[in-house]
Amino acid sequence: MKKYLSLLLLIPVFTKSQLLSAKFIIPKPASVISDPGVFHFSSRTKIIADKLFIETAGLLSESMGISSKNIESGTPSNTVGIIRILRKQPLGKNNTPEYTIKITIDSIHIESASVIGAIHAVQSISQLAILQTTFGSIPCSRIVDYPEFNYRGLMLDVSRNFFPISYIKKLLGLMSLYKLNNLHLHLTDDAGWRLEINKYPELTNHAAWRPQRNWKEWWKADRSYASAADPLAYGGFYTKADIKEIIQYANMRGINLIPELEFPGHSGEVVATYPNLGCLGTNGKQSEYCLGNDSTFLFFENLLSEVIDLFPSPYIHIGGDEADQQNWKKCPKCRERMRVNHLKDEKELQSYAIKRLEKFINSKGRKLIGWDEILDGGLAESATVMSWRGEAGGISAAKMNHDVIMTPGAYMYFDAYQQDPATQPEAIGGYLPIEKVYQYNPVPAVLEKEKQKYIKGVQANLWTEYIPTMEQADYMLFPRMLALSEVGWTNNANKIWDDFTERMQPHYAILKKFSVNYCRPSYQVQVDTKTDTKERTSLVTLHSEQWLPEIYYTLDGSTPSQNAINYSGPFQIIGSANLRASILRDGKAQGKPASYDIEIHKALGKKITYLKKYSASYPAASAATLTDGLKGGLTYSDGRWQGFETDMDLIIDLEENTPLQVVRSRFMQLIGPGVYMPDYIEVSVSEDGKQYSPVNKCTNDISIKDPSLLFKIFEVDLTGLKGRYVRFFAKNHSGFLFTDEIVVD
Ligand code: ACM
Ligand code: ZN
Half-sphere exposure of 190 (CA within 13 A, CB side): 19
Of all atoms in ligand 1, which is nearest to the CA of residue 413?
Answer: 2
Longest dimension (CA), the chain: 96
Residue 692: the pLDDT is 93
Q: Is the pLDDT of residue 7 over 50?
A: no
What is the rounded average pLDDT for all residues in the chain? 94
Distances (CA, A) of 381 to 114, 261, 439, 456, 537: 31, 20, 33, 17, 55
For residue 47, pLDDT over 90 is answered with yes
Alpha-carbon distance 322 to 301, whole Å?
Answer: 21
Residues around the ion ligand 2 (C-beta < 5 A)? 279, 290, 292, 331, 333-334
- Does the C-beta of 389 come closer than 6 Å to ligand 1? no
Q: Which whole number is the average pLDDT over 155-184?
A: 98
Task: Please give the distance, rounded to the nearest whole angstrom, from the Cα atom of residue 459 to the centre of ligand 1.
Answer: 12
Which residue has a Cα nearest atom 2 of ligand 1? 388
Question: Is there a domain that residue 81 lies in?
Answer: yes
3-class secondary structure, 85: strand
Is pTM beyond 0.75? Reply is yes
From residue 544, alpha-carbon distances to 13, 138, 436, 501 in Å are 17, 31, 12, 10
Pair 183, 119 in one domain = no
Average pLDDT score over residue span 395-418: 97
- Taking the CA of 333 as reference, the closest ligand is 2
List CB contacts of 737: < 8 A, sequence separation 6 or more.
Answer: 643, 644, 647, 648, 667, 675, 676, 678, 730
The residue out of 126, 145, 164 marking a domain boundary is: 145
Average pLDDT of span 259-276: 98
Q: What is the pLDDT of residues 666-691, one digit of tens each?
A: 999 999 889 999 999 999 999 999 99
Phi, then psi, of 186 in degrees rounded to 5: -85, 90
Last residue of a domain, one of 112, 145, 178: 145
For 180-233, what is each residue's pLDDT tens digit? Answer: 999 999 999 999 999 999 999 999 999 999 999 999 999 999 999 999 999 999
Residue 441, in any domain of the structure: yes
Q: Is the pLDDT of residue 64 over 60?
A: yes
Q: pLDDT by residue (tens digit) across 490-548? A: 999 999 999 999 999 999 999 999 999 999 999 999 999 999 999 999 999 999 999 99
CA 114 to chain centre: 30
| Structure confidence at residue 93 (pLDDT) | 54
Residues 414 and 508 in one domain: yes
Taking the C-alpha atoms of residue 649 and residue 573, their distance in angstroms, rounded to an integer, is 32
Q: What is the CATH number of the domain that holds 560?
A: 2.60.40
Whether residue 407 is contained in a domain is answered as yes
pLDDT of residue 148: 97
Task: Write the pLDDT tens digit of every residue in 338-379.
Answer: 999 999 999 999 999 999 999 999 999 999 999 999 999 999
Alpha helices in 132-178 (DSSP H): 165-177
Q: Which ligand 1 atom is at minimum distance from the Cα of 322?
A: 3
Give the Å distance between the CA of 269 and the centre of ligand 2: 17
CATH number for the domain including 616?
2.60.120.1190
Q: Based on the domain organization, do 167 and 111 belong to the same domain?
A: no
Residue 385 near residue 399, CB atoms below 8 Å: no
By residue range, what is the domain housing residue 553? 526-598
- The pairing of strands 526-532 and 537-543 is antiparallel
291 CB neighbour count, 10 Å cutoff:
27
User: For 82, phi and psi rounded to 5 degrees?
Assistant: -125, 165
The answer to whether position 103 is within a domain reads: yes
Give the pLDDT band of residue 267 (cuts 50, 70, 90): very high
Residues 6+ apart with CB under 8 A from 296: 264, 277, 289, 290, 353
Q: Is 321 in the pocket of ligand 1 (CB under 6 A)?
A: yes
In the chain, the amino acid numbered 198 is N
Together in a domain, 472 and 502: yes
Task: Give residue 76's pLDDT band: very low, low, confident or very high (50, 70, 90).
Answer: low
Same domain, 547 and 648: no
Ligand 1 atom nearest the C-alpha of 388 is 4
* pLDDT for 6 beyond 60: no
pLDDT band at 15 (very low <50, low <70, confident <90, very high): very low
| 740 neighbors 667 (Cβ within 8 angstroms) | no
Q: pLDDT confidence of 78, banded at 50, 70, 90? A: low
Average pLDDT over residues 448-455: 98
**Is residue 371 in contact with ligand 1, taking CB distance under 6 Å?**
yes
Residue 649 CB partners (closer than 8 Å, separation 6+): 610, 611, 612, 727, 728, 729, 730
Residue 413 Cβ contacting ligand 1 at under 6 Å = no
- Calpha distance 392→347 (Å, rounded): 18
Using the predicted structure, report yes or no on whether residue 695 has a pLDDT greater than 70: yes
What's the half-sphere exposure (Cβ side, CA atoms, 13 Å) at 497?
15
Q: What is the pLDDT of residue 16?
A: 45
**209 and 311 together in one domain:** yes
Say which ligand is closest to the CA of 190: 1
Query: What is the whole-number distance in angstroms between the Cα of residue 156 and the centre of ligand 2?
Result: 30
**Mean per-residue pLDDT, 160-166:** 98
CATH number, residue 139: 3.30.379.10
Residue 91 confidence (pLDDT): 56
CA distance linking residue 86 with residue 661, whole number of Å: 77
Tell me, using a 6 A CB cutoff, whether residue 641 lines ligand 1: no
Indicate the number of domains in the chain. 4
Task: Give the E-state strand segments of 126-241 in sequence order.
Answer: 137-145, 151-157, 182-186, 188-189, 192-193, 209-210, 234-235
Closest by CA to 23, choosing from 15, 13, 12, 35, is 35
**Using only C-alpha atoms, what is the Rg of the chain?**
29
By C-alpha distance, which of 497, 461, 495 is closest to 477?
Answer: 461
Same domain for 304 and 394, yes or no, is yes
Q: Which atom of ligand 1 is nearest to the CA of 461?
A: 2
Q: What are phi and psi of 314, to 5 degrees?
A: -65, -25
Region 476-491: mean pLDDT is 98
Looking at the fold, whether 725 and 663 belong to one and the same domain comes out as yes
C-alpha 360 to ligand 2 mean position (Å): 21
Determine the distance separating the centroid of ligand 1 and the alpha carbon of 388, expressed in angstroms.
Answer: 7
- Work out the burial of residue 275: count CB atoms within 10 Å of its CB; fewer than 13 is exposed, 13-18 middle, 19 or more buried: middle
Per-residue pLDDT band for 74 (boundaries 50, 70, 90) equals: confident
Q: Is the CB of 322 under 6 A from ligand 1?
A: yes
Q: Is residue 2 part of a domain?
A: no
* Domain edge (last residue) among 145, 173, 192: 145
Q: Report whether pLDDT(95) > 90.
A: no
**3-state DSSP call for residue 248?**
helix
Q: How far is the CA of 440 from the centre of ligand 2 (A)?
A: 41
CATH of residue 191: 3.20.20.80
Q: How far is the CA of 330 from the centre of ligand 1 (A)?
A: 25
Residues catalogued as catalytic = 189, 266, 322
Contact 642, 679 (CB under 8 A): no
Spell out the residues 6+ positions from residue 202 whose beta carbon is closer than 8 angstroms to its own. 273, 274
The CA distance from 521 to 545, in Å, is 5
Is the pLDDT at 113 greater than 70? The verdict is yes
**Ligand 1 pocket, residue 263 CB under 6 Å:** no
Q: Is the residue at 75 inside a domain?
A: yes
What's the rounded mean pLDDT across residues 444-457?
97
Nearest atom in ligand 1 to 409's CA = 2
The answer to whether residue 77 scores a pLDDT higher than 70 is: no
What is the 291 CA–ligand 2 centroid distance (Å)? 5
Q: Which of 15-24, 57-66, 673-682, 722-731 has the lowest mean pLDDT?
A: 15-24
Smallest-distance ligand from the CA of 184:
1
Closest residue by CA, ligand 1 atom 3: 321
pLDDT band at 405 (very low <50, low <70, confident <90, very high): very high
Residue-level pLDDT at 13: 45
Least confident of 62-66, 80-84, 164-168, 369-373: 80-84
Residue 653 burial class via C-beta count within 10 angstroms: exposed 0-12, middle 13-18, buried 19 and up:
middle
Note whether 612 and 709 are same-domain residues. Answer: yes
Q: Of the ligands numbered here, which is closest to the C-alpha atom of 371? A: 1
Residue of 190, 322, 386 to mutate, ligand 1, most atoms within 8 A of C-beta = 322
| Positive/negative CA dihedral, 26, 29, 34, 39 | negative
Same domain, 508 and 643: no
Q: Rounded CA gap, 379 and 386, in Å?
A: 12
Which residue's CA is the closest to the ligand 1 atom numbered 1?
321
User: Which of the four pLDDT bands, split at 50, 70 and 90, describes residue 75?
Assistant: confident
Whether 687 maps to a domain, the answer reads yes
* Beta carbons of 46 and 70 less than 8 angstroms apart: yes
Q: Which of 463, 465, 466 to mutate to test the pocket of ligand 1 (most atoms within 8 A of CB)?
A: 463
Within a domain: residue 360?
A: no
- Tell whether the model's pLDDT for residue 4 goes beyond 80: no
Same-domain check for residues 393 and 248: yes
591 and 619 both lie in a single domain: no
Nearest-atom number in ligand 1 for the CA of 266 is: 3
